[in-house]
Homo-oligomer: A and B are copies of this chain.
């Protein structure tokens, strides 16, 4: 059932007794809560423009890639293709993004930022930065850096979990 290319070591039971512990001691619970909190902070800081963290991720990825097929975007932001299509439809409705059929491969759609989208990114930047900083504000700069390193490590290690086609790169 595992069989990843990386061939993970078996998770040997550390005998950790999650059952007895309160929710607050469980990784899954805390991660969900922190995610919730960051989204709330982001929405608060960016209330002026109506944009969500995921939309921001997609716009940012698009800015870096210049132009991309939906499947590439899906891989870049770690989202299901279904979900990417969904978010892109909303972004297109708001004129942040353009989609055209690829002339090379008629199965694909090529996505690119519009001027409106590029302008939005610039307006959003400061708010997004504040949201990120407030999310980590409780930690000292040292602890913050360490936490980010661990976080990146955890994500990279299990990067191929979930539907994301080729895993995230």
Contact = CB atoms under 8 A, between A and B. Distances in A.
Each complex incorporates copies of this chain amounting to: 2
Nearest to A126: B13
The interface size bin for chain A is 35 or more
B78 A11 contact: no
Tell me if A's interface is mostly helix, strand, loop or mixed: helix
B64 A28 contact: no
Interface string A142-160: 0100111011111111110
Interface in A19-49: 19, 22-42, 44
A11 B137 contact: yes
A132 B16 contact: yes
Interface in A108-157: 125, 128-139, 141, 143, 146-148, 150-157
